[in-house]
Amino acid sequence: MATIGTFTKKDATYQGTIATLTLKAKVNITPVARDNDKAPDFRVYAGSAEIGAAWSTTAKNGNAYLSVKLDDPSFAAAIFARLVESDGSHVLVWSR
């Protein structure tokens, strides 16, 4: 697993940065109203551009996390990652 982002939580919004080989951006993960069961709980923005979505979920051990899908024209394919709490902050971890 690789850490590709670090975030802090302010109210219900996560603010931080994502850094990969092709993307370096300040990012907000903002809650949105859901209109159906499959709709995301959050939208991911780099500035005003939407670059992904996130769903609230719970691990088998009971820990809550966000399942995040990021996409950008510079990516060969979408990136799937998890935003998890770690030592009082939140990290975005990606694994193939």
Helix (H) or strand (E) holding 56: strand 49-58
Give percent of the chain with pLDDT exceeding 70. 99
CB atoms inside a 10 Å sphere around CB 49? 9
CB atoms inside a 10 Å sphere around CB 43? 15
Q: What is the pLDDT of residue 74?
A: 79
Range of the domain at 63: 2-94
Number of domains in the chain: 1
- Does position 96 have pLDDT exceeding 80, yes or no? no
| Mean pLDDT, rounded, of the chain | 92
- Does position 51 have pLDDT exceeding 80, yes or no? yes
**Predicted TM-score (pTM) of this structure:** 0.91
Strands 2-10 and 13-19: antiparallel
Report the distance separating Cα 91 and Cα 36, nearest Å. 28
Task: Please give the average per-residue pLDDT across 23-45, as a whole number.
Answer: 94
- Does position 7 have pLDDT exceeding 90, yes or no? yes
